[in-house]
Amino acid sequence: MRSVALLFLVCFYFSCSGNKDQEVLEGQTLFSEPKEIERTTKKIESKEFFDSSAYRKYMASDSIKLIGQVISVARSKKFLDRFALDSSLEIKVSINKKFLINHEVHFFKDSIQSKNAFYNWIDEEKHRIVGDKRSFGAYHNIFILTEKNFQIFNAKQKLNEIQFKKLATYFSHSDRIIFFLVGNKKETIWYNINQNNSIEEINEISK
């Protein structure tokens, strides 16, 4: 009688476990979809991301010597973005806990897009032409146009041209500078950058 009861329990156990094994598994639990793999391995350019710690260290480097903290980082949606890639940045930085700097960076595919965006920005948004000495506003500004980006620095305090020209290389280390503008609430000075990296003021208004 014991052997019959034992046999019954054994059969009952295997019948239950057999039902569990028959459960259908979704294909995703066994194989990853090709689209998912492609999405995770897609090459993304470094400028799509922003490392605030690396940026802060770059500011504090021996050649720049700006001690500051990154307060916020956002994707800017302004006039230039109808030409720019989806990686435009707006960075707010506090320098020595004394004054605030706004740093905009607009990235472009090539020098043609970069120049087109800049000329349209000058003409349509600022109502200026290249070499116009009029001020761009009440703040101190530095504008740097390179072959693949356009960077804007502005603050209430005067900005050191050399320091911020070097800081701009965080995003455009090897790009040639096309225009370099320094402005305040009174006037704007335009410069060309020569091949030897020297700055030459634009004397005549021309486009």
**DSSP letter (8 states) at residue 65:** -
In whole angstroms, what is the distance from residue 51 CA to residue 134 CA? 35
DSSP state of 15: H
Inform me whether the pLDDT recorded for 139 exceeds 80: yes
Measured over the CA atoms of residue 55, residue 56, residue 62 and residue 64, the dihedral's sign is: positive
Residue 196 pLDDT grade (very low, low, confident, very high; cuts 50, 70, 90): low
pLDDT for position 144? 95
pLDDT, position 42: 33
Q: Please state the rounded mean pLDDT for residues 37-52.
A: 50
**What residues does 154 pair with on adjacent strands?**
102, 141
The tokens describing 102, both together, are 């706004």
pTM (two decimals): 0.71
151: left (phi over 0), alpha (psi -120 to 50) or beta: beta
Q: Is the pLDDT of residue 105 over 60?
A: yes
Residue type at 153?
A: F
Mean residue pLDDT of the chain comes to 76
Task: Please give the sequence-ordered ranges of beta strands (E in DSSP) within the chain, or none if there are none.
Answer: 68-75, 89-95, 99-107, 140-146, 149-155, 177-183, 188-193, 199-201
Is 40 a residue whose pLDDT tops 50?
A: no
Res 171 pLDDT > 70 = yes
Segment 5-34, tens digit of pLDDT: 555 555 555 555 554 444 443 433 333 333
In this structure, are residues 188 and 136 in contact, taking their beta carbons and an 8 Å threshold? yes
The percentage of the chain sitting over the pLDDT mark of 70, rounded to a whole number, equals 66
